A and B are shown apart, each in its own frame.
Chain A
């Protein structure tokens, strides 16, 4: 059974960068398709990007292109999401989650999810 454990809460200044980690256990990272989803306070879920098997690569939501980088360290089975040029609107809970490894188009479900990492952007 896959388990995802994320790094702890972060407080950042506007303009800074944040890097959130997601440690995988139960499987190796190479067997999974990792995604990142965020949720601003009181708002809905927002997909940021992830590995799309049909494309064979990690793709990013257009909204975050140029500001987000998702990487993986297969030696430690840890995935990372780095978001730069932070602004107050980036204050949110950030989740890692795994999607299907076989898709007809793109991921249409996510399971399981990490516990979430709260990123607060404040001056």
Chain B
């Protein structure tokens, strides 16, 4: 059971927008920055968003992040078939002194 809670799956049509939620608590999301990762089948995770809403160099602005209280959200606009992947949120848990992740959300682009 993951410390952070994500929906198991989401789906949307090409060109549409989708959001993926990540819910935690005061010791993790509530007091630390959130990051998001994309994991294509059979590959290592790739950092998409860090510090709640910053994009590393090379990540298109179709990807965005936000945080409110103890929840965070990843948004993807202009969906492409190549966006089909698993998306995971992560942060630090100050109470557990542990890095924590969500269970991952599988995105299907119909």
In the complex, how many residues of chain B place their beta carbon closer than 8 angstroms to a beta carbon of chain A?
Answer: 30
Contact of A44 with B2 at beta-carbon distance under 8 Å, contacts A37-B99, A106-B97, A108-B91 already known? yes
Interface residue? A107 (CB, 8 A): yes
Total residue contacts A-B, CB cutoff 8 A: 82
Residues in chain B near residue A114, CB distance under 8 A: 44
Interface residue? B104 (CB, 8 A): yes
Contact of A105 with B92 at beta-carbon distance under 8 Å, contacts A37-B99, A47-B98, A111-B56 already known? yes
| Residues A44 and B47 in contact, CB atoms below 8 Å apart | no
Contacts A61-B98, A115-B44 known; list 7 others, CB within 8 Å: A46-B101, A95-B44, A105-B94, A108-B33, A108-B34, A111-B56, A112-B47
Question: Which residues of B line the A interface, CB within 8 A?
Answer: 2, 31-35, 37, 43-47, 50-51, 56, 88, 90-94, 96-104
